[in-house]
């Protein structure tokens, strides 16, 4: 009887279908859409209204402040869409039992994860395009064709690494309630020492070191480099990108080791009815 069964649907088709339906759930979650896509735009407008016309020193060279904000916030949007989003949504789906339900189907686990990450990357693309477009239209951002490959490679390395780190954090977070706190406690302080929200022209050495240890600053600076006239084309920042990629590998290893499909027995479970052993 197995012999007559048709073949399983193809992996690319299934991944595409997962991405589509996960994007649909994302687009119908207003709070996620706001924090991922609208907040960076709001910050871009506000920061430029408050502090414009100055120049700053960052790792990549001297930037007009408005370019600094556009590049930094675009990179930050990519991080929100991948790292923050996945660290939040995966524990929620796990606690609700959605992951366990998918685990009950013939869908391969890696395809589900690939679909989740793929949808986050699509959101990241949309967010980055929105921020950059606003930068070009309103804040005099120059996109040089010769640096576009560097921008794309930097973006891809970044979203891959931060998606892996998001799934890694989701794997070790005990419950969905803890997820937003943990994700924000990691990413917001890092944002301040990684040239996202403020340009620290002469930072204390230890702050510089902290920023350099974690992957956000190398990613943000590599991305900014692709959009500043101070850096010559092709503007690939291989050193910092290697550090970002290394963090991605660490994330991948953590996720592989600790990812769970079911809620922790003692925490987080929405007990709809008394559970039997």
Partner 1 sequence: MTHSISIAGLVKEYDGRRVVDEVGFHVAAGEVYALLGHNGAGKSTIVEILEGHRTRMTGDVTVLGMDPAHGGRELRDRIGIVLQSSGIEDELTVTEAVDAYRACYRRPRPTAEVVAMVGLDEQADQRIGSLSGGQRRRIDLALGIVGQPDVLFLDEPTTGFDPAARRGAWELVRRLGEGGTTVLLTTHYLDEAERLADRIGVLSHGVLIAEGTPAELVARSGRTTVQFGLPDGTPADDLAGLVPRHATVDARRVSFATETPTAAVHAVTSWAVERGLELADLQVTRPSLEDAFLGLVEPADDGEELP
For partner 1, the binding residues (CB under 8 A) are 2, 5-9, 14, 17, 21, 24-25, 28-29, 93, 96-98, 100-101, 103-108, 262, 265-266, 270-277
Both tokens of residue 44?
């871009």
Of 49 and 271, nearer to partner 1 (C-beta) is 271
Both tokens of residue 118?
């793929």
d(CA 44, CA 71): 10
Residue by residue, DSSP assigns 41-81 as: HHHHHHHHHHS-S-EEEETTEEEEHHHHHHHHHHHHHHHII
Question: Taking the complex as a whole, how short is the minimal distance between the CB of residue 31 and partner 1, in angstroms?
Answer: 12
Max Cα–Cα distance, the chain, nearest Å = 73
The Cα-based distances of 237 to 2, 79, 154, 264 in angstroms read 53, 18, 8, 41
DSSP one-letter code for 56: E
Q: Which of 175, 169, 163 is nearest to 262 (CA)?
A: 175
d(CA 39, CA 47): 12
d(CA 208, CA 56): 16
Of 53 and 106, nearer to partner 1 (C-beta) is 106
Q: Are 158 and 244 in contact (CB under 8 A)?
A: yes
Of 108 and 177, nearer to partner 1 (C-beta) is 108
Q: How many CB atoms lie within 10 A of CB 14?
A: 18
Q: Are 223 and 75 in contact (CB under 8 A)?
A: yes
């Amino acid at each position: 009887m197995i012999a007559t069964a048709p073949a399983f649907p193809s992996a690319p088709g299934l991944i595409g279908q997962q991405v589509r339906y996960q994007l649909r759930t994302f687009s119908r979650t207003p709070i996620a859409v706001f924090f991922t896509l609208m907040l960076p735009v709001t910050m871009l407008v506000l920061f430029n209204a408050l502090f414009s016309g100055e120049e700053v020193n960052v790792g990549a060279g001297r930037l007009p402040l408005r370019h600094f904000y556009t590049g930094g916030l675009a990179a930050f949007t990519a991080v929100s869409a991948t790292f923050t989003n996945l660290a939040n949504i995966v524990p929620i789906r796990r606690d609700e039992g959605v992951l366990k339900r998918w685990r009950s189907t013939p869908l391969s686990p890696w395809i589900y994860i690939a679909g989740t990450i793929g949808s986050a990357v699509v959101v990241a693309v949309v967010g980055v395009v929105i921020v950059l477009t606003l930068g070009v239209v309103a804040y005099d951002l120059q996109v040089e064709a010769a640096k576009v490959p560097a921008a794309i490679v930097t973006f891809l390395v970044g979203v891959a690494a931060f998606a892996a780190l998001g799934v890694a954090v989701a794997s070790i977070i005990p419950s969905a309630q803890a997820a937003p706190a943990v994700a924000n406690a990691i990413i917001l302080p890092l944002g301040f020492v990684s040239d996202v929200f403020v340009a620290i022209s002469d930072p204390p050495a230890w702050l510089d070191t902290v920023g350099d240890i974690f992957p956000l600053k190398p990613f943000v600076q590599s991305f900014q480099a692709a959009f500043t006239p101070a850096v010559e084309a092709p503007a690939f920042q291989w050193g910092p990108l290697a550090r970002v990629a290394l963090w991605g590998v660490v994330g991948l290893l953590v996720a592989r080791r600790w990812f769970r499909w079911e809620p922790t027995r003692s925490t987080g479970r929405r007990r709809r009815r008394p559970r039997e052993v």
